[in-house]
Amino acid sequence: MGTAGLETGVLYRNPLAGPDDVAEWVAEGPLSLGSHDGALELSGSLDDQEFGDHAHWTFWCPEEFPDGIRISWEFLPLAEPGLAMLFFAAAGHRGLDLFSQALAPRTGYYPQYHSGDIDALHVSYFRHKYQSERAFRTCNLRKSAGFELVAQGADPLPPAEDAVDFYRLEVLKDGPLAAFSINGLPLFEWRDSSDTVLGGGRIGFRQMAPLRAAYRNLVVEKL
């Protein structure tokens, strides 16, 4: 479920009120869907102690977006530890569609995304999986393929036990510019000076198990 083009400048809007709203989304990996107080709850279905890096997943919006967009959504961590990120400007190598059968199959295993046959930017904004991440919390922007760390900023999101309401997250992608903010607080801004600036593409949520988190009010707007 989702609406596109119904408001000036809005390319896609989805309330993410529950599993019915993401019936057409594409899950890669062991994802579980649920509801949490009118929002979409996402979590893993495998024990990461047993399955390790194969317990994580990626969840793609079915729409393909142009360059020059603002992506915003609301996020609430429910149970830790774990990590949350957003992929954007995602496409296959050589201009292939992200879901092209010519690309290697993807199962949620992270190296398939950062060092495989897709190109994307991805911001990890809730890095509470490992003790070292929790001890010094940052938001990281990476460019792939290649897993290149291109920007970093402080992460103001609290542990799940201290989160009392949803947080509004926003990504701007406009040509070489990528910027990220939470509740209106700018956290980083980066301009790609390479000759391989990424353009339009798809967006997708990703979590590392055993994180449980709720999402709502996803909006993609043309700048």
What is the CATH number for 188?
Answer: 2.60.120.200
Q: Determine, yes or no, domain membership for 123.
A: yes
Residue 7 confidence class, pLDDT cut points 50, 70, 90: confident
Residue 10 confidence class, pLDDT cut points 50, 70, 90: very high
Counts of helices then strands in the chain (DSSP H, E): 3, 15
How many domains are there within the chain? 1
Q: Determine, yes or no, domain membership for 209.
A: yes
**Residue 11, CB-side half-sphere exposure with 13 Å CA sphere:** 20
pLDDT at 136 over 80: yes
Q: Determine, yes or no, domain membership for 143.
A: yes
pLDDT at residue number 111: 97
pLDDT at residue number 8: 79
Instruction: Indicate the SS3 state at residue 176.
Output: coil
Q: Determine, yes or no, domain membership for 206.
A: yes
Q: Return d(Cα 155, Cα 126) in angstroms, integer.
A: 7
Helix (H) or strand (E) holding 50: helix 48-51
The predicted model gives 117-131 an average pLDDT of: 96
Q: Determine, yes or no, domain membership for 3.
A: no
Q: Determine, yes or no, domain membership for 103.
A: no
Q: Determine, yes or no, domain membership for 54.
A: yes
96, 223 contact by CB (below 8 A): no
pTM for the predicted model, two decimal places:
0.95
Q: What is the C-alpha end-to-end distance of the chain, expressed in Å?
A: 23
pLDDT at 41 over 70: yes
Q: Determine, yes or no, domain membership for 105.
A: no
Question: What token pair was written down for 46?
Answer: 């495998």
pLDDT at 114 over 70: yes
Chain-centroid distance of CA 195 in Å reads 24
User: Quick count: other Cβ atoms within 10 Å of Cβ 130?
Assistant: 11
Please give the residue range of the domain that contains residue 205: 10-98+114-222
29, 57 contact by CB (below 8 A): yes
